[in-house]
Amino acid sequence: MRAMTLRLALTLLATVALGACSRSHGDSVTGPAATQLPADATLHSIPMGAPPGEPVSIAGRIANPFAGNAQAVAEGKQLFGAMNCVYCHGAQGSGLIGPALNGSGWRYGGTPAELFNSIHDGRPQGMPAWGARLPPDQIWKLVAYLQSLGDASNQPSTTGPQAADQDPADSAHQGLIAAQRAR
């Protein structure tokens, strides 16, 4: 089922993927124009290493302007495929070369601002810095998508076709999209 969902997402994307990749900083910004984004300076003053979940730092007080916005989450999901995040982090952020992003724990903090900084600035063990390629609103949409994954994973999955489709015997291989590769 996960693979199906991914396929659907990527089908939508297939046509925009190549174009999106060459998009450079400053290309036209999509999404609600009125949204007020947090200031760059504030974001960069966030210290590293504050324990996640503890709103001691400024990070905990900055909200994602797109949180819960269904259209933004859908756009974030598209970007997650088009920017090849999915081939490092797995379908629905289940984890591959890079760590899982589905709310099962964060290396660099899971507040919206910390997620923004992880994506914008990159992280030392191979996470690329996307600030040079994606405008801030698109990064916030990616954050919105990641936030939606965390929410989903906290819900009991007893209903719906997703749950029915899961084959426990093969769960090891669910979401191993593109995962296993040569070198």
Partner 1 sequence: MIRPHRTLGLALLAVLAACGPADRKASSLSPANRPQPGATGATANFAPNDPPGEWRRQARDYANTRFSPLEQIGVGNVARLKMAWSFSDGIPYGHEAAPLVVGDTMFVVTPYPNVAYALDLSKPGAPIKWTYQPHPDPIAVGKACCDAVNRGPTYADGKLVFTLLDGEAVALDANTGKPAWRVRLGQPASGMTITMSPLVVGNAVLVGNSGGEMGVRGQLTALDLSTGKELWRGYSTGPDADVKIGADYHAPYPWLAGKDLGASSWPGDAWQRGGGTVWGWISYDPDLNLIYEGTSNPSPRVPAQRPGDNLWSSAVFARDPKTGSVHWGFQFTPHDQWDYDGVNENILIDGPIGGQTRKLLVHLDRNGFGYTLDRSTGRIVVAKPFAPLNWAKGIDPATGRPIVDPDKEAKVEEKVSNICPTHIGSKDWQPAAFSPRTGLIYADIFNICMDLTDHKVGYIPGTPYDGMDLTTHAGGKTNKWGEFIAWNPLTGERAWSIPETFMTMSGVLATAGDLVFYGTTDGWFRAVDARNGKVLWSQKLSSGITSQPMTYLGPDGRQYVAVVAGVGGVASQVMGSKNGFPPRGGTLYVFSIDGVSPGSGPGMLTTQGSKAPGAVYNAPD
Q: Which SS3 state, helix, strand or coil, does residue 174 take?
A: coil
Part in contact with ligand HEC (CB under 6 A); list of ranges 18-26, 43-51, 118-126, 160-168: 118-126
Lookup: tokens for 101: 């992003």
Binding mask 70-109 for partner 1 (x = CB under 8 A): -----------xxxx--xx--x----xxx-----------
> Across the strands, what pairs with 127?
123
- Write down the least CB distance from residue 175 to partner 1, Å: 9
- Write down the least CB distance from residue 130 to partner 1, Å: 10
Looking up tokens 């939508």 gives 12
Which residue's CB is nearer to ligand HEC, number 66 or number 106?
106
Residue of 49, 124, 160, 168 that binds ligand HEC (CB under 6 A): 124
Which residue's CB is nearer to ligand HEC, number 85 or number 174?
85
Query: Alpha-carbon distance 151 to 146, whole Å?
Result: 9
Counting Cβ atoms within 10 Å, is residue 2 exposed (0-12), middle (13-18) or buried (19+)?
A: middle
Query: Alpha-carbon distance 104 to 73, whole Å?
Result: 19
With CB cut-offs between 5 and 8 Å by kind, which of ligand HEC, partner 1, none does residue 82 bind? partner 1
Q: Does 84 bind ligand HEC (CB under 6 A)?
A: yes
Q: Does 67 bind partner 1 (CB under 8 A)?
A: no
List, in order, residues 6 or more apart from 125 with CB less than 8 Å away: none
Query: Alpha-carbon distance 12 to 167, whole Å?
Result: 26
Q: Where does this chain bind ligand HEC (CB under 6 A)? A: 80, 83-85, 88-89, 97-99, 101, 106-108, 115, 118-119, 123-128, 130, 142
